[in-house]
A = this chain, B = another copy of it.
Amino acid sequence: MFSKACEYAIKACIFVAKSSMRNERVTPKQIADQINSPVAFTAKIMQDLVKSNLVASYRGAYGGFEIEQAKIAEISLSQIVEVIDGDKIYNGCGLGLDVCNENHPCPVHEQYKAIREDLKQLLKTTNLEQLAVGIETGDAFLKT
């Protein structure tokens, strides 16, 4: 469904959001520990999230990553997914046709469309605040 990079990105954002709620910046090492991911690869992904302005970074001592508190409830999963995996999950054909639409549908176009729309809806309506709270309360987990 999502690339590994994207899975890491989502989990990282949730952890950064949770930390930012307490005004704590976090390092790639801390993130990787919390989401069980390779440190350097996670750091690279964080750079993409910073470039796209979902996450803020601060260099030097006492630096790290954070998400502006006001933005935490405004950032949806769809924004993160789009930064890392692009929009093929929203627009792509289920069978990989370059062109697949009402006029020229692949064999599963209609059925697949419904699922894709549900997924789109899910990603658009789920925000980092909800998810961070779920982790904070222990109702959900970022690693096993």
**CB within 8 Å of B: which residues of A?**
1-2, 4, 7, 10-11, 14, 77, 89, 92, 94-100, 104-109, 111-112, 114-115, 118-119, 122, 126, 131, 134-135, 139-144
B7 touches A96 (CB 8 A): yes
Chain B nearest Cβ from A88, distance in angstroms: 9
Is the beta-carbon distance between A7 and B95 smaller than 8 angstroms?
A: yes
Q: In the assembled complex, which residues on chain B have CB atoms less than 8 Å from the CB atom of A112?
A: 122
For this chain, the copies found in one complex come to 2
Residue of B nearest to A10 (CB): B95
B14 touches A144 (CB 8 A): no
Q: Are B2 and A140 in contact (CB under 8 A)?
A: no
